Amino acid sequence: MVTGGGRGIGRAIARRLAQDGAKVALWDLADHEGVADELKAQGAQAIFVPVDVTNADSISQGVEATIANLGSIDILVNNAGITQDSLLMRMDEGQWDAVLNVNLKGAYLCSKAVLRPMLKARYGRIINIASVVGLMGNAGQTNYSASKAGLIGFTKSLAREVASRGITVNAVAPGFIASEMTDALSDKQKEVLQGQIPMGEIGTPEDVANGVWFLSTDASRYITGQVLNINGGLLMV
């Protein structure tokens, strides 16, 4: 299951997991770019499931549909996320609540919904997409940074709760990744951005997807409660 799998980083994650033979359920409000059909055309087992990750009933229906079509839920990637940037003194409660509800509460609801089948199977991989700003902060993103910092704490706590049952819980914290937002930047702005990154370049969605893929496999079986930073050296901890 990849939440927010209809585009961007979620799309790249779905493609990478399918490439490795995983059956993929893309959860999103809409399959914006026909990713499920694309994967099926390539021979993968993939379905699109319309789900609102802030709504427990929608998630419950999504779990039922996923299990009915694909048989089990072994991997959950909590990728769905939004931004509503503003300086705190100008930020209204709606902007704060919307970001926390999708980015943090959504991960809580989805993780809770898949735990029962994972516990029964004594196997599972939960991977939460956090952000470098959850570790270092960013002006104008108090709501987004708080949601991602909360997601990291959530990751570490849940990892302790379920480790003895064969379930690992980890987070990936991307830095600056090529997206619609970075595409809109001027060459000068991109130059300044890249100047902050020791590797001198903005990452790609595929860079993030490869990290998620690793954490989803048995190659990472002894790794849990960790944050994998994928940021070109922007933040080293």
Instruction: Report the catalytic residues.
Output: 144
| Contact by Cβ (8 Å): 145, 187 | no
β-pair partners for 141: 86
- The pair phi, psi for residue 90, each rounded to 5°, is -105, -5
The residue whose two tokens read 């919307």 is: 98
